[in-house]
Amino acid sequence: MHDTLFQPLKMGALTAKNRIFMAPLTRGRAADPMFTPNAMMGTYYRQRAGAGMILTEATGISVEGLGWPSAPGIWSDEQTEAWKPIVEGVHEEGGLITMQLWHMGRIVHPYFLDGKAPLSASATKAPGEAHTPIGKQAYVEARAATLDDIKRTIDDYHLAAENAKKAGFDAVQLHGANGYFIDQFLRDKTNLRDDEYGGSPENRTRLMREVLEALIDVWGSDRVGIRLSPNGDSQGTDDSNPQATFGAAAKVCNDLGLAFVELRQPGPDGTFGQTDVPQQDPLFREHYTGPLILNSDYSAQEAEDDVSSGRCDAVSFGRPYISNPDLEKRIAAGADFNPNVNVPKSWYFPIAEGYIDYPTLEEEQQQAAAAG
């Protein structure tokens, strides 16, 4: 039924066994101690190793860059060691796993920074409230990054990339989407700088390029990808001319020979921001010739259609993979998806419920047979 989705895909040095990818999903299970992965996370990723490629939940590159309760990090030796059995479990099941590297920028609340202001492209404040262990707290105005801050942060990305390599990952993906640090530099609503990192689209892509070059220094370009979200406001981050900004970003991705680019293309019920704006993937096809992954709000048939038509090379599924650990098998069989995904408690609480207790299609069929 969905033959194209089950063709292998070459991406740089990687070969995915199918084109049904698992999108990055923050799940908040790295608790006790905070930011360190654990065995429950190992079970979760192993269960989903049938995906063509797993893109991990966003993983903090530094204390300064991580402001989500119980999200994992990759800056310490302890975190690196804790990731190793998780990666090994996915590999034992024949899967690929790529670490997504994350700096949240102005979205980090001072709670996580001993009261200090977060870092961003400019002194701006995100709308809304941050999730913290003591409840929701209003965002504060960020501190504009100095040139020394930028150099230091690029070094943090480099170290995180080295640690991801030590942990055994197959590749790394730079989180450049959803209104976080890289996105705050890319778009002109949040980047008000007048130095070499601000102003023109080419200047605003400079940090993205330099971070990607740092990752490539560790991994080689054939094992580095990026996620971007060129589609309207995202957590207060927007752009007056997305065609120019993301056209420039696409050229950077092509010039550097990235293994893949993933674009968020949210539908009408998308998680982040506005969706009534033109989709930008045709623009990327003009400037970036490598493998393109589209994400967000896809059905199996829509994914098949877009991969078959050449609009993209693979589709990454997010929320469906929460409640369908064997999503690719359900798509192959034309089976219904388990719909139990819209339960915020199960999304983010550091518990096994709603995380590793969803049945596979085979288990559902066995239960039905036993009951019948």
Choose, from 44, 139, 157, 180, the residue flagged as catalytic: 180
Rg (CA), the chain: 20
Q: Are strands 9-11 and 14-16 parallel, antiparallel or unpaired?
A: antiparallel
Pairing between β-strand 54-55 and β-strand 97-102 as defined by DSSP bridges: parallel
Q: Using DSSP, how many helices (H) and how many strands (E) does the chain show?
A: 13, 15
Q: How far is residue 301's CA from residue 107's CA, in Å, rounded to a whole number?
A: 35
Q: Taking the C-alpha atoms of 339, 341, 346 and 350 in order, what is their torsion angle to the nearest 10 degrees?
A: 120
Q: Residues 204, 245: contact at Cβ < 8 Å?
A: yes
Using DSSP's 3-state secondary structure scheme, residue 67 falls into: coil
Query: Which of 41, 132, 145, 26 lies closest to 85, judged by CA?
Result: 41
Q: At what angle do helices 77-92 and 39-47 cross, to 10 degrees?
A: 30
State both tokens at 37.
């992965």
Q: CA neighbours within 13 Å on the CB side: how many for 331?
A: 28
DSSP string across 207-271? HHHHHHHHHHHHH-GGGEEEEE--SS-BTTB--S-HHHHHHHHHHHHHHHT-SEEEEE---TT-S
CA 173 to the chain's CA centroid: 7
**Whole-number Å distance between alpha carbons of 294 and 227:** 10
Widest pairwise Cα distance in the chain = 70
**Is 180 tagged catalytic?**
yes
DSSP string, 91-107: HHTT--EEEEEE--GGG
> What is the separation, in whole angstroms, between the first and last Cα of the chain?
28
Tokens 């605003």: give the residue.
204
Please list the active-site residues.
180
